[in-house]
Structure 1
Amino acid sequence: MMNRWHVLKRLMPLLAGMVLLLSACGRADLSTLRPQGPVAEEQFGLMKLTILIMVLVVVIVFAIAVYVIIRFRRRPGDKSIPAQVEGNHKLEIIWTVIPIILLIILGVPTVKSVFGLAKDYTKDPNAVQVKVTAHQYWWEFEYPNLGVKTAQELMIPNDAIISIEAKTADVLHSFWIPSLAGKIDTNPGGNVNVMYFEAPKTGVYLGKCAELCGPSHSLMDFKVKVVDRASFDRWVAAMKNPVALPADAEVAELLNKQCLSCHAIGGNGGPAFPNLTGIGSRESVAGILMNTDQPQYKNEGTVKDNLIKWIEDPQAVKPGTLMPKVDLTKEQIEAISDYLAGLKLEY
């Protein structure tokens, strides 16, 4: 028994160091502890209140336990039997009333927030309306009042409420932007769930699927790009502009045959799979191949390089994706990738 205790004593500093080290892991754009909007801040406030109450209870309970263990321990040579107390009405009232008070302190702001955050802005003319459709393993964003549809990158202004109507095209998913708002499920069967949030700080935030949905669940990311109102209006206008097909007739034919049968570019193509309009301006390809050379990302490269990687073998990037491996030569893949990488939007 003593040997085990000595081993545990030696392991404690190591375990404490590991806890401290792991507590520093994570990303700023994937943390509910760094709220970047009023909805996230309100939810974070509830988290802090809950943690404060739990810490208070734990400290008091442990303090009482330690006091009792020390104060009423058996002394050497003491053979007497302690007084047998079978009940204490005063203590029973105290330990009943205190939890009730704590529950009220926690419950009142929680209920208030639950109903406050359940507001429906889908009919609000001043809110930006976005219909979110979850697919295995990508996200579709439609702006019904603006006549725009895109994928994998939610573009929003920083001066408006964002009203979300979320549904799924296949299995159960969950729409989640940790830094901006809580998560909301997208349930099969035509069910539509609503939520709202605001993002007053411009920047790029990470969104994820928060419900196990298949082999590439962990890779079902999307980006939220928050811009000022003028930039957002320019983006909307740019998304509506016609897009020219490749000047090279052979590449145009390949694009029409291999890509536009499923994807839309400008007014061309089909709506079944992610809209590729402006893909050259996006933060990522397929949601996870980052269009950057910043070293903190594992999957990074130029837009063209990422497109080549994706087209060559989609299953290697996202196992289970419905994107097939197309029968194209290396030169053909490079030509299509070069064209798609050039589809940039000015905003």
Structure 2
Amino acid sequence: MTMKKITTILLTGIILTLSACYPENFNQTTFHPYGPVADRQLDIFWLILAGGVVVFILVEALLIYSAIKYRRKDAEGLPNQVHGNHKLEFIWTAIPAVVVLVFSILSINTLFFAAEVPKDSEGNLENHVQLQAIGHQWWFEFRYPNPNDESQEVVLANEVYIPVGVPVRIELDSVDVIHSFWVPKLAGKVDMVPKPKDIDGNKDLNHMWFEATEPGVYFGQCTEFCGASHANMRFKVIAVSQPEYDSWLMKQTEPAAEWDDPLVKEGAAVFKSAGCSGCHALKPTAKTGSKGRLGPNLTHLASRTYLAAGLMNNTDDIDTTDINEAYLQENLRAWIADPASIKPGNLMAAQGAVYNDPDRALTESQISALVAYLMTLK
């Protein structure tokens, strides 16, 4: 390989690396934290980066100095050779050891801080929201304690609401393979590992916490390769005021409204006859700890800001929560007509009878009725 090619490759790599570090406030940047966990993690990143830069400069300076000072000169023989200088050996061993120890202590302290909700002066966890996130190929299920019934959980998909300024503790589970839960502006990633229940029916799950200091929409992503549509496994965290959050959570406990429109009723019938109800629940709650359906809960589908775990946006802007019904209708029709072309490998296309049996394929009128019905699920 010529020097020109090597230089080109190195320059390309440097440019790509620097562009990835550009500190613009993108949706999934880690350089603009909006919570204490992300703040702490960014602080340790900058500290270790600064330390690494200082060490790099010192080492390179010593190398250059030594290469120049002790280079062989034409008129002379070999320069004096130094062997077994215990003082130097101690210095260049002790200094890196101290640096590594300091960084290790700071890093471990940050890991413990990010693992559990802070405790109050009496040693109890601060007032916080408790929820569970469950990874599926390729979407996220969320479960909240039902404020009306301790034996029930509110079941949602791909969007999670939280109150601003309140810690949120999340238990992380998976029903199939290892996934990972990451909201860059709020906290670093933690793996979602499928685990069996113990003899008492409990699971030793990974957990994490975060807190949003400002209202807004924060974008999350699975960051553990989990199959064909790993890159298409996304979710949103929507931070709102405490009153808005309380109102929203109560709304999620209610069933979707029923409609007398003939087209909507036809769509409800198609939902059952086509087998949709076998994989998708239309009940907003489930028994605590119970196994969910194969597909996302659709009770309030028409209130969600996007479909297919982040691939199809139902709003005018990705940072808003106001549904554009024209977008929603268009997205629903496209998804029902051909889910495989939108999200490769998804189970709806792979296992749905209407996509694998030509005799059961949905007609245009059935799709229209089904879309009309799904748009009422608010």
Shift of residue 224, structure 1, vs aligned partner: 1.0
Q: Which amino acid aligns with 1:282?
A: R
Select which of 214, 222, 234 maps to 2:247. Answer: 234
- Given the alignment, which residue of 368, 371, 375 partners 1:334? 368
| 1:135-165 deviations in Å (ceiling 9; x for gaps) | 1111110102434211111111113110111
Tell me, yes or no, if structure 1 residue 319 matches structure 2 residue 344.
Answer: yes
The amino acid across from 2:194 in the alignment is: P
CA positional deviation for 1:121? 7.8
Give the 3 Å change call, closer, same or farther, for CA 26–283 of structure 1 in structure 2: farther
Query: Equivalent residue for 1:178?
Result: 184
Q: Which moved more, 1:256-265 or 1:115-124?
A: 115-124
Task: Give the direction of change, closer, same or farther, for the CA distance of 1:231–1:332 in structure 2 (3 Å limit).
Answer: same
The answer to whether the 8 Å contact 2:72/2:79 transfers is no
Give the secondary structure class of the aligned counterpart of 2:180. Answer: strand
1:264 to 271, 281, 300: 281
- The equivalent residue for 1:307 is 332
Letter matched to residue 72 of structure 1: Y
Task: Give, in whole Å, the separation in 2 of the partners of 1:295 and 1:119.
Answer: 30
| Equivalent position of 2:306 in the other structure | 284
Count how many residue pairs are aligned between Structure 1 and Structure 2.
338
Counterpart in 1 of 2:57? 59
With over 3 angstroms needed to count, the CA separation of the structure-2 counterparts of 1:6 and 1:90, relative to structure 1, is same
State the identity as a percent.
37
Q: Deviations for 1:209-261, whole angstroms, at most 9, x for unmatched residues?
A: 11111111111111111111111111112112232334223222113333333
Deviations 1:27-71 (A, max 9, x none): 722122221110011111111111111111111000111111222
Quickly say closer, same or farther: Cα 1:98–1:63, change in 2 above 3 A. same
Does residue 216 of structure 2 align to residue 203 of structure 1?
yes
Confirm or deny that 1:166 pairs with 2:172: yes
Q: Quote the offset at 1:89 in angstroms.
A: 2.1
| Cα distance, 1:6 vs structure 2 | 5.9
* Residue identity in the other structure for 1:285: L
Q: Does 1:83 align with 2:80?
A: yes
Query: What's the CA shift string for 1:267-294, capped at 9, x where partnerless?
Result: 5999512111322222210112122345
Q: In the alignment, is the contact (CA less than 8 A) between 2:195 and 2:205 conserved in 1?
A: no
**SS state at 1:140 partner:** strand
SS at the partner of 2:181? strand
Change (3 A) 1:315 1:26: farther
Structure 2 spans left out of the alignment, 5+ residues: 148-152, 197-203, 355-360
Q: 1:117 to 1:18 in 2, by over 3 A?
A: closer
Pair 1:22–1:187, CA change in 2 (3 A)? closer
Deviation at 1:20, TM superposition (A): 4.7
Q: Which amino acid aligns with 1:323?
A: M
More deviation in 112-121 or 23-32?
23-32
Summarize the Cα distance change of 1:72–1:31 in structure 2 as closer, same or farther, 3 Å threshold: same
Q: Say whether residues 1:250 and 2:266 are aligned partners.
A: yes
Instruction: Note the C-alpha offset of 1:17.
Output: 5.1
Distance 1:240 1:11 in 2: 56
Counterpart for residue 66 of structure 2: 68
Instruction: In structure 1, give the amino acid aligned to 2:178.
Output: L
Partner of 2:199: none
- Aligned match of 1:94 in 91, 94, 103? 91
| Amino acid in the other structure paired with 1:130 | L
Amino acid at match of 1:83: N
Contact 1:260–1:268 (CA under 8 A) maintained in structure 2: no
Structure 1, unmatched stretches of 5+, are none
Report the 3-state secondary structure (helix = DSSP H, G, I; strand = E; otherwise coil) of the residue aligned with 2:160.
strand
Contact in 1 for aligned 2:333/2:367 (Cα 8 Å): yes
